[in-house]
Amino acid sequence: MILEAARPDGASAPCRHCGLPLPAGSAGPYCCAGCAAARQAIEGLGLDRFYDRFVLDPAMAPLRPATDAHVDATTYAQPAGSGRSRVHLMVDGLHCAACVWLIESTLARDPRVLRARVNMTTRRLVVEWQGGPELADALLLPVVRLGFQVAPYDPGRLADAAAETERRLLQSMAVAGFAAANVMLLSVAVWSGLVGREAGGGMGVATRDLLHWISAAIALPAIAYAGRPFFAGAWRALRAGRSSMDVPIAVGVVLAAAASLHETLHSGTHAYFDSAITLLFFLLIGRWLDQRARGRARSAAQHLMGLRARAVSLLRADGTTERRAPEQVAPGDRILVAAGERIGIDGRVARGLSDVDAALVTGESVPVAVRPGSIVHAGTINLTGPLTVVTTASGERTLLAEIVRLMETAEQGRARLVALADRVARVYAPLVHVAALATFLGWWLLLAAPLQTAMMHAVAVLIITCPCALGLAVPVVQVVAGGRLMRRGVLLKSATALERLAQVDTVVFDKTGTLTEGRPVLLADPDRLPADLDAAAGIAASSRHPLALALVAAVGRPVAAAASVVEHPGRGLSWPGPDGEWRLGSRAFCGVGETAVETDPELFLARPGRPAVRFAFRDQLRADAAVVVARLRRRGLRILLLSGDRAPAVARAAADAGIGEWQAALDPAAKVAAMADLARQGRRVLMVGDGINDAPALAAAHVSMAPAAAADISQSAADLVFQGQRLTAVADALGAARAADRRVRQNLVLAIGYNALAVPLAVAGHVTPLVAAIAMSSSSILVIANALRPAGGRRHS
């Protein structure tokens, strides 16, 4: 009857779950895979009759999930070739890996869907299907019917939403903390009065009731306000026919508050307001820390997209220029790139000589000389001279866009790793509900106990099994270990970084800026005269080229720039000397014969009538690189060096650092492929890198680190960032992670062991809600105390 009432007039038979009309030609009884999955879960929980009576009842329409919501995804769907279509959307309402699994599995039930992936950190949903873009709304409707909201993917909106969520969690945490402190003080007075009364004195009933009413006045509004994140999450889960860790938290808090209010109204002895509000305070701390970690991980791809040029100068056939967005440029269009401007497209140089900062591709600090025929990429910077570039790719087809896709794909793999506490909670939450319900029914029906007594025992089970200690087991160790690492100059940026770092068995280093200092240094030469260095530095002082800066720095004192120096982009500098033109630059520019042997970066000083003087540069190893590599090897770790630099330079750096395995001339995709190959071998890889070209590899590794001097995007992609010039931070972080892993396991044993001991006692009626509240709080304090134990004075070798 209810289903009939929910059906529009003249419509076909309704869906058995949501009550909406079945699609034309559907055999039923469900309109989509999402409704079928939700109904199966509801029946499994034994809530089908409740759902039909209260959720599908027309009177409950304001509380019903938005099953008829308009998705409007067709507007944003795009053809993907071969008769396929793809859409990128943002999902609101994700809280844990179970949400990711539910969305992906629901979409995968549709035979037309070829791929459905949700990135937990960025909340991006990518769906690819066989068919046209017009199918997008129908394919995504099951996701909306599960209680999730979808919207166009907008990184700016995502950042704003994350900031707003953090602000609300912080407000809730502040309210819960203030209320918990005050209610706990009142509870101490009540507990002391009870003890004194048993001894023949103590607190009177009227005073106790007054303190209970004051506690209720503080706790109930605070619970209603601070518990909103958990109450909303529990309601979303239940109305979609699923469970989550929010459900037992919400049920326990509500029942504890209701039972406490009942006791207060009837002048009862025990009230448990302190337990409910303290539980919320501890759990809000963990959720706020998790939200902060997700926000930092989420910013990586957004920051990388910030490297795109906002506009480019299109050269028309008549010689005039027009400013256009890079996405509006077509292959074959000619683009003018001024000196100092960021290149907005991929292309081939048609005219001009210059130096390009190509760290995006090579990761090298030394700019690349480009000339007609050279390939340039979006996101790189033209340094010294104007260029005319013929477009080969723009928008989403550029190398920069490809790097973003590599990062998101790598982060997707990482986001599917869930914390152990969340995995346990999938089974834990239903068991808690069943145990509490069985306790209530057993005492009330089988043992004929009064209803209030049965309720008190059930509340005691819910309170004593509330996953406070379980929820704190991981985050509290992260906070303590993160603080200790911060004092050593290491910053944690991912919620699961320590857990993954403790599993590492392979360390992969980048060369430039990671294993080395990342800046060219002039090599000593006994045949070179000091006067030659002074003369070359005077000419070099007029240039901002990295090799010129290194030459000036080698003098060790202020250098006066020579007058009338002319810079020849991509070649070098010239100066009208007293005996003719002096040149400082490349071999060809200075008239020095080419060599078939690859050499270090070099400059030559050519003067009339005198032999050219060579200045060679090298990126030096960090001072402790060899020591750290030996230290890591003693721990049984496999060490590799992957670099985009030339093979001779990489081989020399590997030999100096004591690394036997190395690869050279790797682009970003090749580094990601190397990470994937190591993963297929069963290796847990720590990637340490600093270049923009390292960002996809950092995201693809099991865990990653970057120095604080690294390119901003690499720091965003990395799970840890270390300060200073010493690589010792890498070994310190590995040692701290293994120590933290032991603490996490100890805390999980404490939390689970506590429940294994306490739950049977509570079910048997030997634990009152008051004792349950004390035990629950004690288990949390014990977990925190274990995390705060000193790490010990032994340094990890």
Residues belonging to the active site: 510
* Assigned token pair, 399: 């190398």
Non-local (6+) Cβ contacts of 719 within 8 A are: 492, 493, 494, 497, 500, 501, 703, 704, 705
Q: How far apart are CA 384 and CA 585, in angstroms?
A: 14
Q: How far apart are CA 369 and CA 358, in angstroms?
A: 10
Tell me the C-alpha to C-alpha distance, in Å, between residue 78 and each of 83, 128, 156, 605.
11, 10, 21, 57
Q: How far apart are CA 470 and CA 755, in angstroms?
A: 10
Q: Among residues 439, 441, 427, which one has the least CA distance to residue 463?
A: 439
Non-local (6+) Cβ contacts of 166 within 8 A are: 288, 291, 292, 295
- 8 Å CB contact between 605 and 589: no
- 8 Å CB contact between 512 and 310: no
**Cα torsion through 535, 540, 541, 546, rounded to 10:** -140
Q: How far apart are CA 117 and CA 650, in angstroms?
A: 38
Tell me the C-alpha to C-alpha distance, in Å, between residue 604 and each of 155, 354, 532, 536, 573.
48, 18, 11, 9, 10
Q: Among residues 566, 567, 577, which one has the least CA distance to residue 610?
A: 577
Using CB atoms within 10 A of its CB, is residue 443 exposed (0-12), middle (13-18) or buried (19+)? buried
Tell me the C-alpha to C-alpha distance, in Å, between residue 163 and each of 168, 292, 294, 296, 305.
9, 9, 11, 11, 20
Backbone angles phi, psi at 93, to 5 degrees: 110, 5
Q: C-alpha angle 197/200/205, rounded to 5°? A: 35
Q: What letter would DSSP give residue 352?
A: -
Contacts by 399-403 with C-beta closer than 8 Å and gap 24+?
399/346, 399/360, 399/361, 399/668, 400/304, 400/307, 400/308, 400/360, 402/668, 402/669, 403/304, 403/360, 403/668, 403/692, 403/693, 403/695, 403/696
Neighbours of 761 (CB within 10 A): 16
Q: Among residues 509, 504, 84, 475, which one has the least CA distance to residue 293?
A: 475
Q: What letter would DSSP give residue 55?
A: I
> Left, alpha or beta for 167 (phi > 0: left; psi -120 to 50: alpha)?
alpha
Secondary structure (3-state) at 356: strand
- 8 Å CB contact between 250 and 231: yes
Q: How far apart are CA 519 and CA 619, in angstroms?
A: 6
- 8 Å CB contact between 190 and 209: no
* Assigned token pair, 148: 């999730």
Peptide bond before residue 648 is cis, with ω within 30 degrees of 0: no
Contacts by 621-624 with C-beta closer than 8 Å and gap 24+?
621/515, 621/516, 621/517, 621/653, 621/656, 621/657, 622/515, 622/516, 622/517, 622/725, 622/726, 622/727, 623/725, 623/726, 624/726, 624/727, 624/728
Non-local (6+) Cβ contacts of 108 within 8 A are: 116
- 8 Å CB contact between 525 and 616: yes
Strand partners, 382: 356
Q: Among residues 62, 240, 68, which one has the least CA distance to residue 148?
A: 240
* Assigned token pair, 639: 């060490």
> Left, alpha or beta for 636 (phi > 0: left; psi -120 to 50: alpha)?
left
